[in-house]
Structure 1
Amino acid sequence: MVLWHPPDAPWVKLNTDGAFSTSTLEAGDGGLVRGSDGGLLWAFCSPIAASSSFEAELLALIQGLEMAMELSTHIWIELDSGALVTLLSSGQLGSADLRHHMALIRSMTAQRHVRFSHIYREGNRAADSLAGRGPRPLPSRTTIQSLRLGT
């Protein structure tokens, strides 16, 4: 059984996912940031312009990083794309068509403590579900922010 585990303080954990349909060419992203108590700090889902599932994964990560950076300088990024975790951990920029996304991610994480890890889809269900809702037409970007307990 694959389970999601909260990070140790002072880390926040960012889980993101991208969805892309080859039949409709629609894409969406989704993700959430949770604290060391496992509580939800921020969540999102939205339609995006992507040309592949890998690009959707990258765009979801960028959106999630923007949120997580407002909350902490210690960000644990957990993704269900093993290929993306490998690329991010390697220091490479990847293929030419995605290098601008990778360069942006590198610049966003440069001044932060960042950890990348892989989680199986079963443990990333919340982000997967949000990403699956992303392609559906929404009036605007949907952002859900919860109150931090004890602050």
Structure 2
Amino acid sequence: MGEFKLNTDASLVDEGGGIGGILRNKDGEIIHFFSKNTDGDEIFALEIQAICEGVAVAKYLGITSLWIEADSSFAVNSFNKRSLPPWKQMQSIQRAWTDLAGMKWRITHIWREGNMAADFCPRESAPLKAIPLLR
């Protein structure tokens, strides 16, 4: 009871990347959605960045119980301290752990097929090539 769920994802194309996520209440109602462009990087770094952004939002909203799901097992393992993240992401992860310190939280892996709502978020913000219209 009272647990909120955060699903996050990232997308990477030649022109850059995008991150996004959906935060839902216990009834599955969306209470917050985020999507933003990022500089192109490695997809693993973007997946971690998406989780960190979502955690910051949860803290801002005063959430005290959070279940995080992501379709990147590497990002999930990094947060669970089972994998070493890219060194450039360590500061972001440490900040997220600080934000999570006041919460009851868990992070689990979900298959991409189960994460479709969050999968849509970064694709909306990632820069895409203009496709010429066929006449």
Name the TM tier (shorter chain): 0.7 to 0.9
Letter in 2 for 1:11: E
- Which of these residues, 17, 24, 32, is aligned with residue 42 of structure 1? 32
- Which of these residues, 1, 4, 16, is aligned with residue 8 of structure 2? 16
Letter in 1 for 2:3: W
- The equivalent residue for 1:104 is 95
Deviation at 1:100, TM superposition (A): 1.4
- Which of these residues, 118, 122, 135, is aligned with residue 127 of structure 1? 118
Deviation at 1:97, TM superposition (A): 2.3
Aligned residues: 127
CA contact under 8 A between 2:19 and 2:35: conserved in structure 1? yes
Residues 111/92 of structure 1: CA separation in 2 closer, same or farther (3 Å cut): farther
- The equivalent residue for 1:143 is none
Deviation at 1:50, TM superposition (A): 4.3
- Name the CA distance, whole Å, in 2 between partners of 1:71 and 1:37: 18
Deviation at 1:41, TM superposition (A): 0.7
Normalising by the residue count of structure 2, what TM-score does the alignment of the two structures yield? 0.85
Normalising by the residue count of structure 1, what TM-score does the alignment of the two structures yield? 0.77
Deviation at 1:15, TM superposition (A): 0.4
Deviation at 1:20, TM superposition (A): 1.4
Letter in 2 for 1:80: D
Q: Where does structure 2 lack aligned partners over 5 or more consecutive residues?
A: 129-135
Letter in 2 for 1:39: E
- The equivalent residue for 1:89 is 80
Q: Where does structure 1 lack aligned partners over 5 or more consecutive residues?
A: 1-8, 138-151
Corresponding residue SS for 1:30: strand
Residues 73/19 of structure 1: CA separation in 2 closer, same or farther (3 Å cut): same
- Which of these residues, 49, 63, 66, is aligned with residue 59 of structure 1? 49
Q: Percent identity?
A: 28
Residues 123/80 of structure 1: CA separation in 2 closer, same or farther (3 Å cut): same
Q: What RMSD in Å do the two structures reach over aligned CA positions?
A: 1.8
Corresponding residue SS for 1:60: helix
- Name the CA distance, whole Å, in 2 between partners of 1:93 and 1:83: 9
